[in-house]
Structure 1
Amino acid sequence: MKKIKLALVTINFNGLKDTLELLESILKAKIPSQLDLSIIVVDSPTREEHVSAIKKTYPRATILTSAVNLGFAAGNNLGIRKALSKGADWLMLINNDCLVSPDFFIKLLSSPLDKPDTGALGGLIYFAPGYEYAKKIKPSEKGKVIWYAGGIFDWNNVLGSHHLVDRVDPGELNKVTETDFVTGALFLARADVLKKVGLLNQDYFMYLEDVELCHRLRLSGYQLLVDPDLKIWHKVAQSSGIGSSLNDYFITRNRLLFGLRYASVRTRLALIRQAIRQLFLGTKAQKTAILDLCLNRLGKGSWLK
């Protein structure tokens, strides 16, 4: 029986400790004989000591380096293209600040990823213990608080939210369900699908690029699914910092970019009115984001020097 070539892609962005812990969780996981797992780490921006440490932890890893910060979209695309050139059948994007369950890859074999109609597949993502937003949780509930169990997209406001976020896992999530979007924190797709629909849109740099790709998948007739048997833990906000000016800039610009391309005329007009208000009353990050969009300064934009 031919093995399935699974390429796992992750970005190391000044987060060596997290990346090594992700790799260690993979080393502890059971890899079924039917899977030929390869790991691609995109070190962006690269540091020699990071490359050495990653090689020491996982000698078989392919490390791609960049002298500059490529961002989420371009960084993952670099890894995806490398994986495709090596003949990968399945692609798995995962944030470096995540940990996989010991049976993750076993469960993956029985997932619907190989179904012809599946465009992208996500899993059940918990807050890593100690990284929960919810305050009133018992010590025994740490590691059981849900961060993502499916995505809900509000087209009227061009905002995404996570199903069951901050809820303790009720233990009843045992069915594959459809979702509005699969988060880029754990994004699985077949190579043939990505070759047909395309990769992440690098205009976004970071934030909403996963939603945009999922929308293109849906427009192409594919399903977006979540399999709760695929469990990982996420050290939320380690990669970019929720609530930061960086977050404010890219969310503002990319929400406008996405909405003006794909939303209804009514929603587009509402977004334009909101953008005009923010130009006068918004934060510095919001004002810069709107100006950059108007001037077609996409990708990295002008906020990151």
Structure 2
Amino acid sequence: MFDLAVVIVTWNVREMALDAIRTVIEDMANSGLDGRVYVVDSASSDGTAEAVASAFPQVDVYASPDNIGFGRSNNHAIQRVMALYEPPRAVYLLNPDTITRAGATRALYDALMADESCGLVGAQLEYGDGAFQHGAFMFPGLRQLWMELFPAPARLTETTFNGRYPRHLYTVGEPFGVDFTLGATMMLKTEVIRQTGMFDEDFFMYCEEVDWAWRIRRAGWDVRCVPQARVVHLAGQSSGQVRPRSLINLWESRLKLFRKHYPAWKFRAARWMIAAGMRRKIRQADALPPDERPAIVAAYQHIMELARHA
């Protein structure tokens, strides 16, 4: 049995993916962990799969002929890993727009294995310029929806009211319990995967990590953020390439998440808030760049209809 299988899903991020793979391989080599890397490329048009295979012959690369989405792509690799005669002790889902800092992989692995009740851990993230980035959140509720869609005091943005954990928990340096970690870095014990399954493939993109963490928590496992593990997350470089489609994907997934995990009354409230929020965004569309405005307004209108009829 080896220690760790690292899974990276790519889509048209060749240069960043090469950096992500290089830095995690270097970190594992210095950590003493016995690890393997699996890459699933979702029909990139920039030669990502070929570049990875050429630069890292030790990496297992699967080039999908279609863009099958984040969750399904990860599941493809997880299924292959779990089908091994001796699966690893843990599986590490890592975004392609990341740079692993020295010692991060070992810190995550040690925190995961230190407590038998811990089933999932994630890193402390930072932006490319070194600025702090939240790597863990509370499960989304109506308060977070209000903060995103309607006027609210700016002082609430970085608070628990908006689902953020206090900064001092990160600076103390010890792992702390959270509801879910961002999908950029998710390390799970293999027994968690056996018990709770994998990503729900109804989520094409966005919210799949929230849904899985919700199921993991309900199954009795703890989820923790590990501040000692530092990973640069360049934040949405793949999804940011097609903004209107990304907006629709995001809100489609959020509606699926709310329908799956909210009681009926709360789901109705969320639908109303989303529809009202989209109407408000449409009224404010004059502030958008003129060349982007029609497509983004059309996306808002589509999301409003989704919320009305969900």
Query: What is the TM-score normalised by the length of structure 1?
Result: 0.80
Partner of 2:302: 288
Verify the 8 A CA contact 1:200 1:213 in the aligned structure 2. yes
Verify the 8 A CA contact 2:75 2:198 in the aligned structure 1. yes
Residue 227 of structure 1, CA deviation: 0.9
SS in 2 for 1:35: coil
Partner of 1:198: 197
Which segment is superposed worse, 105-114 or 84-93? 105-114
SS in 2 for 1:96: coil
Residue 120 of structure 1, CA deviation: 1.1
Change (3 A) 1:75 1:107: same
For residues 183-233 of structure 1, the C-alpha deviation after alignment (integer angstroms, 9 at most, x for no partner) is 110001011111110101111111111101010111111111111111100
Partner of 1:97: 97
- Counterparts of 1:79 and 1:94 in 2: how far apart (Å)? 12
Question: For residue 91 of structure 1, what is the amino acid of its counterpart?
Answer: V
1:83 aligns with 2:97: no
More helix by share: 2
1:189 aligns with 2:188: yes
- Counterparts of 1:274 and 1:106 in 2: how far apart (Å)? 42
Change (3 A) 1:268 1:88: same
- Counterparts of 2:197 and 2:144 in 1: how far apart (Å)? 22
Change (3 A) 1:75 1:163: same
1:260 aligns with 2:246: no
Query: Any residues of structure 2 matched to 1:161-200 within 5 Å, and which?
Result: 161-163=163-165, 172-200=171-199
Change (3 A) 1:192 1:14: same
Structure 2: tracts of 5 or more residues without a match: 146-161, 283-296
Change (3 A) 1:107 1:275: closer
Verify the 8 A CA contact 1:124 1:228 in the aligned structure 2. yes
Query: What is the TM-score normalised by the length of structure 2?
Result: 0.79
Residue 20 of structure 1, CA deviation: 0.6
- Counterparts of 2:71 and 2:298 in 1: how far apart (Å)? 24
- Counterparts of 2:224 and 2:192 in 1: how far apart (Å)? 14
Verify the 8 A CA contact 1:113 1:121 in the aligned structure 2. no
- Fraction of identical pairs, as percent: 20
Partner of 1:6: 4
Residue 291 of structure 1, CA deviation: 5.2
Query: Any residues of structure 2 matched to 1:63-82 within 5 Å, and which?
Result: 63-82=61-80
Partner of 2:136: 150
Structure 1: tracts of 5 or more residues without a match: 130-142, 297-305
